[in-house]
Amino acid sequence: MKIILICQAGTDMVWESRYDADSFERAIETERGCFAVGGSVRRIDASAYRVYTGTSRACMQTAEILFERTGPIEATPLLDDVPIRAFRDTGKALPLWLWKAMGEAQWRADSRRQGETRYQTERRVEKLADRLEAESKDCIVICRGLTLAALKTVLRRRGFLLEGGGLAPKPLERVRATKKILHCGGCHHNCLLSEAKCHIGREKARERGIVA
């Protein structure tokens, strides 16, 4: 089973350089309805994959930007953006980067000041992970950065091996997730016990009782 995680494309939102608390939260809500911006991306055929996205316009459009064809596409609130709020109540105009950085920091610290704590986000995406494992089919998951971070944490806990991507996901960044139990443990690449050429890996896997 393979899951391709993709960070949502950027949007055409025109941001101001400074906001007070109320105007920042309005801007966050406005961006949810903005269009996705993907630049010059070569579209590929993903017809063998089922695709899951969040319900925002940009999230759903990311699939259109990246793929010529896909399997069924399902938009689910389980993959929606983390509802970032102002980190404090103030009428003072503060830099946009500060609102975003502090909102994310509060989310990571499980602050109830935010619309959703990190723990709550992880519990939300756990429900999707349950479904993906039950279906056990290769798929593509598209969501925003913080939701993606929470899903990566959940998948690691479930024994998935994650390859690619950085600490802070960038638009259109991809991460490949496969079950660790399928990794032979005897080589440095993720052979998934499916490559006959990986004799060293298969021998190690036999020793561990993973394959006969």
Q: Structure tokens of 130?
A: 């349950």
Q: Taking the alpha carbons of 20, 21, 22, 27 in that order, is the dihedral positive or negative?
A: positive
Residue 42: predicted pLDDT: 80
Name the residue ranges covered by the structural domains of the chain. Answer: 2-179
- Tens-of-pLDDT digits for all 212 residues of the chain? 899 999 999 999 999 999 999 999 999 999 999 999 977 778 888 888 999 999 999 999 999 999 988 889 999 999 999 989 999 999 999 999 999 999 999 999 999 999 999 999 999 999 999 999 999 899 999 999 999 999 999 999 998 999 988 777 889 999 999 985 444 555 555 555 444 445 555 565 566 555 54
CA distance 3 to 185: 20
d(CA 43, CA 73): 16
∠32-76-168 over CA atoms, to 5°? Answer: 60
CB 140 within 8 A of CB 2: no
| Percent helix, percent strand, percent coil in the chain, to nearest 5 | 40, 20, 40
Structure confidence at residue 1 (pLDDT): 83
Helix axes 118-135, 145-157, angle to 10 degrees: 60
Fold entry, domain 2-179: Rossmann fold (3.40.50)
pTM of the model: 0.81
What Å distances lie between residue 194 and 38, 183, 191, CA to CA?
Answer: 34, 9, 6
The pLDDT of residue 40: 74
